[in-house]
A and B are shown apart, each in its own frame.
Chain A
Amino acid sequence: MKRSSVFQLAAKDLFQNFSRSILLLITATILSVVILTLINFAYYFYRTSKDFVMDIIKTQGVEATIEVSYVVYRINDIENYYLKDSDLDDFIEKTQEMGILYEYEFDSIGFGFYSEEEVTLRPYLGGKEMYDGNPPLVDGAYWQTDDIGMNHIWISNALANTHGLGVGDRISLNINKAANREFIIKGVVESEESYIDYHFLDISSLTVFDRVNEYQNLSVAKEIKKISKETDTIIIGGLTYIVYTEHLYTTLVIAGIIAFLTLLCILLSIGSVLNTMKISIINSNRFIGIMKALGMRNKDIYFYILSQTGLIVVIASFISALISWLIANFTLAEQIQIIYDIFGGYEGLKLRTGFNFLLPLLNIVILIVSITLGALKMLFRHFKRPPVVILREAE
């Protein structure tokens, strides 16, 4: 029997037996929606986390995740705040009055003037507030308040070039808190954007150091991610990372939980599909018996069942892909933001959603595998049985 004839017969039977087919279609669609929504959710979470983490990690061996800090300056005001020997607190106060989301704290505001000067970085957790001691920092794994700034030293390219410093060189600084501490030049980060104020260019072209110290094992890199101009505001998407090991673990745990739930739902759905498949074959018993009596071979019967269920699966997959995408985008996206808020409130974090054609295809694969498994056992029984037995059962 020609494959095309079997397929046509299967399709005709499917569309002409509308009530039976619609029930199977609804069942398959509902199951697919469940599977795909969870897969979408896990996928978006993974995608956002992954992009978020991987885009920022520039050095190897980072064992923690990243927090984001932004520096926002107003162009028109910046010259007023270009201070050589300013008082740091005064600087902070003035910039905060401007409504700036202040993230960096500089001992010396000589943007680009880093001759032997130390630049201190402080993490601002929560996005807007000064660090308040939470999460607590302890020796060995976290920051200590006093240690903040001791771990990250920024020098300009100019300084590095002047002294002939390059990646792998060790330097020590003998000022203030950095006294007698040794640092390794880990890498150089260049900005891809040009700026109006060369000071920012200097900021963006900073040499990154790793702290070599028995207490800390952290890497810091600063990269200008994005520069946008809105009237007189320049946003420097400065992604610096303050590393907390638990954050990475938390991300992994959350992703793991989602993956586990997805897997569980997939297994349950496969079980339901197997059952639906069984019902479909039972409903087709009579037809299979007749066709076998008329001389249809076993492999044609198998292809017939597969054609019918394959058609249902494909239709159900694309309907459910659309529905699950809508659910994931418009309801679950908020949940992702909440999860990240728990981490520490990333401002402007957007869930990376989007319709991915691989997802319905994945769903089709899952359903076809489960349908095939569901069909095989029953069909093998039919294969061995004489037609009259199948017909008798169908009655």
Chain B
Amino acid sequence: MIKVKNLVKVYGEGDSAERAIDDITLEIPEAKFVAIMGKSGCGKTTFLNLIGGLDYPSSGEIFCKGIRLNDLSNNQLSDYRNKNIGYVFQDFYLEPSFTTLENVEMPLIIAGMPKKERRQKAIELLNRLGLEDKIHKKVNTLSGGQKQRAAIARALVHSPSIILADEPTGNLDSKNGAEVIAILKQISLEGKTVILATHNKEDAMKADYIIELVDGRVSKRTEADHEEK
């Protein structure tokens, strides 16, 4: 479970300070597919970055599986990310000089897994995501949809319990976008917590919960069965 309490993130100082996240308190249950929805600039990405340990809050607390992220040092946060978080970026953030396989292996290299084992894991995942013929190709030869699937593979390869996807369909056409959302849905059904940041209502509708953000605050929380404000 992920819990945030009075979470605030401010960018800048003085008169130019901007509250990207303005006092959010909520809980995200385990093994669910949650969509964070809102217009551009409402704080979706910032929220994801904070709970993923990719950024530091200005104030407030973040709990993930009982661990208070605020208490973790830089290196501990790195370990936390490597063990618990799989991140799918909008811009993929794949390393163009490496092959698809090498990119997917990265989290396992960081974790210190032996080469043979990590190769096997990465190849299995790539096969599952339909990239078996792209394994040894450089990522800059892949299409947008293929890149995003490779990014998802990288996010899954180290078996994290939480997948954070920040606008994963933002740079994709509708067909590829739908495929990616379907993959994320499948992942959540396998017991992982998937948190999707999106401005696309159609994508959000696939989730178990929709949390709407406006100006860094939670404006609405929609579950499959009922609605809360």
Q: Identify the A interface with B (CB < 8 A).
A: 1-2, 5, 9, 12-13, 16-17, 286-287, 289-300, 383-384, 386-389, 391
B97 touches A290 (CB 8 A): no
- From A2, A291, A293, A298, contact of B74 by CB (8 A): A298
The minimal Cβ–Cβ distance linking A293 to chain B, given in whole angstroms, is 6
The minimal Cβ–Cβ distance linking A299 to chain B, given in whole angstroms, is 8
The minimal Cβ–Cβ distance linking B179 to chain A, given in whole angstroms, is 24
- Give me 5 other A-B pairs in contact (C-beta within 8 A), A5-B109, A290-B95, A384-B74 excluded: A1-B109, A293-B81, A295-B81, A296-B82, A386-B56
A295 touches B54 (CB 8 A): no
The minimal Cβ–Cβ distance linking B84 to chain A, given in whole angstroms, is 9
For residue B33, CB closer than 8 A to chain A, the reply is no
Residue of B80, B95, B112 ringed by the most chain A CB atoms within 10 A: B95
A8 to B174, CA, bound (A): 39
A356 to B87, CA, bound (A): 52
A145 to B154, CA, bound (A): 91
B110 touches A296 (CB 8 A): yes
Q: Which A-chain residue is minimally distant from B86 (CB atoms)?
A: A294
For residue B124, CB closer than 8 A to chain A, the reply is no
Question: Could you tell me how many residues of chain B have their Cβ less than 8 Å away from some Cβ of chain A?
Answer: 26
For residue B78, CB closer than 8 A to chain A, the reply is yes
Question: Can you identify 29 A-B contacts, CB atoms within 8 angstroms?
Answer: A2-B112, A5-B112, A9-B109, A12-B97, A12-B98, A16-B98, A286-B93, A287-B95, A289-B93, A290-B95, A290-B106, A292-B78, A293-B93, A294-B81, A294-B106, A294-B107, A294-B154, A295-B78, A295-B80, A295-B81, A296-B78, A297-B79, A299-B75, A384-B74, A386-B49, A386-B55, A386-B56, A388-B54, A389-B55
B54 touches A293 (CB 8 A): yes
A1 touches B74 (CB 8 A): no
B75: chain A residues at CB < 8 Å are 297-299
A298 to B75, CA, bound (A): 7
A292: chain B residues at CB < 8 Å are 78
Instruction: Give B94-139 interface residues, CB cut-off 8 Å to A.
Output: 95, 97-98, 102, 106-107, 109-112
A182 to B205, CA, bound (A): 115
Q: Which A-chain residue is minimally distant from B109 (CB atoms)?
A: A5
A295 touches B95 (CB 8 A): no
